[in-house]
Every structure is written in structure tokens, then in C-alpha cells.
Amino acid sequence: MNHLVNLVTSNFPYATEILCLFMAIQGSMAVRNGANSKKTMNWFHAFFKSTLTAYSGATFTNMFMGRPTAMFANDVFFGACLLGFAIVNYLPYDIGFHFFNTFPGMLLHTVFSQVFRMGGVTGFSDAAYAAFKDTPSVWYPTPIFGPILFPAALGNMGGFFMNGFDAYLEKGMPWLFQQALSCATFYHFYAHDVEGCVGQTLRGAVKPMAIQFMSVMGADEKECEDDVLFAKVVVGIFMLVSCVLRMPQFIGPSFSPFTSLLKLVQRKKSKKVNVAPPKNKKKNKAKKQ
């Protein structure tokens, strides 16, 4: 399989450990470059702020489903938080902090932490679908909102926890909401909605291109027909490209493909409205005479 596919589907050795570590490093870097830029914060305060910046979703979201939090259930998560915090704050000459502020370092933790989030979107959608698939509403054969909103809650728990409800939402829909809702919606309907008209229509339209795309990516015959795998690859590539474009060295954190598309449509509409029909000068002159 193509290396890009293996990356976005977390199919490489020690994937859990590597992704958890870089997620922790990104959280520690956010605190070190922000609230603790002068290193005046108590280490315990800085550590837990870094942990919750990176892992608020993993810490709290499972509680909505009555499941144990990953921070308690998996030692790798909290161990990665300890190691990531030490790398950013306590290596000699601050080498960890300085390296991860360079372009290669930023790209490294941006890419791997985003791969971690990809697994969260698809994994939490799978978990919600498995929990609710036997009890859909009478209006549709597949549960719709749970497998979409559960991963959306995962991706935005940090924003709510660190900024507060009003501060996080006052400027409109945050990028993490846009990303989680769009990716979870596509993934859920393409991978899970076997009986519903939305999933069937979506797969009917996309499937021929999906087979060709997966073949180009080095998939075998069985993998080319795997709807779940294709949905994970599409979500993964979209999230990966978006996060790289949002780096300050490229377009910047204000970039969103959805808002950019909306602005483009609005500009075209405004141009059509502003183009006034040509006045008939001959008729106006005849009226004056």
C-alpha cells in the first residue's frame, strides 16, 4: 500500500505511541508558546494545562457514552504526556522547544498530531455507530446524528474547556467543528449507511472513482472494494492537507476550504447583482423631446 495511505490510516510500527507523543508535544508547544512563554508558570500548572490542551477530548468525551476515559484506560496516553512535556520544557539548552519551533519541527508535530485526530474522527464514529445501530429512529434505517456528533465533540472539547463556551463560539463555527462535522458526516454515511438512501446514493456516485483511486494507491482487489478503508483514506488526506495549509508558513490558521468556497460563491452572486442592465439612451431622449 502507498506510504501516504499507511500514514493516514495509522498503519505503521508503534503508531499509537508515536501519535500520542506528538499530540502531547503539540499541546506542550501551544502552552509554551502562549500562556507559559516566559516560563513563569508553575511546572504542575503548565503540565496539566499542556495535557488538557492536547487531550481534553480523549479525557472527557468517552464519558458521554458511559465509557472509561482513554487517559485512565491506556497508559500510553498519560505516559506520552509526561514525555512530551519533558521534551518541550526540560531538554538541555531548550533544544526540544527550539527544534519544534522550526519549520521541520512544526511540520513533524502538525502532521502526526493530525493523524491522531483522523483516528479519533473515524474511531469515535465507529464506536457511536456500534452503540446505536440496533436502535435507529423510525424515520431512517441508520442512526444519523450520534456517529457524527460524538467525534465532533471529541475534536472540540479542548476549545470549550480552555476558552469557555461563549469565547470559543462567539466568532462563528471554529475550524475544528467544520473539520469534524464534515469528515464525520462523509465517513459515517459512506462507511456505515448500508441500507439508507444517502449512503447508497453516495457510494453509487463515488464507488467507480474510489476503486480507481485505491488501485493507484497500491491497494489490492479486496482493499479496492473496502468502503471503510476508502472513507478513512479520503478523510485522512483531507485532514492532512488542510492542517498543512493552515500552518503559518503556508496560508495560515485563518484558512478554511469551506469559508473560502462560501466567499467565492458570495462574490459571484454580488457581481451578478451589481451588473446593472444598460440604459436605453434613445428612449430617454425621445421622452425628453
SS (H, E, C) 122-179: HHHHHHHHHHHCCCCCCCCCCCCCHHHHHHHHHHHHHHHHHHCHHHHHCCCCCHHHHH
Q: The whole model's pTM is what? A: 0.89
**Average pLDDT taken over every residue of the chain:** 91
pLDDT of residue 273: 66
71-100 mean pLDDT: 95
Cα–Cα distance for residue pair 74/35, rounded to 1 Å: 28
pLDDT, tens only, 112-168: 999 999 999 999 999 999 999 999 999 999 999 999 999 999 999 989 988 899 999
User: In this predicted model, what pLDDT tens digit does every residue of 46-57 receive, in sequence order?
Assistant: 999 999 999 999
With residue 238 as reference, give the H or E element that holds it: helix 227-245
pLDDT (tens digit per residue) in 280-289: 655 555 555 5
pLDDT in tens, 182-228: 999 999 999 999 999 999 999 999 999 999 999 999 999 999 999 99
Could you read off the pLDDT of 18-70 as tens digits, one per residue? 999 999 999 999 999 999 999 999 999 999 999 999 999 988 888 888 888 88
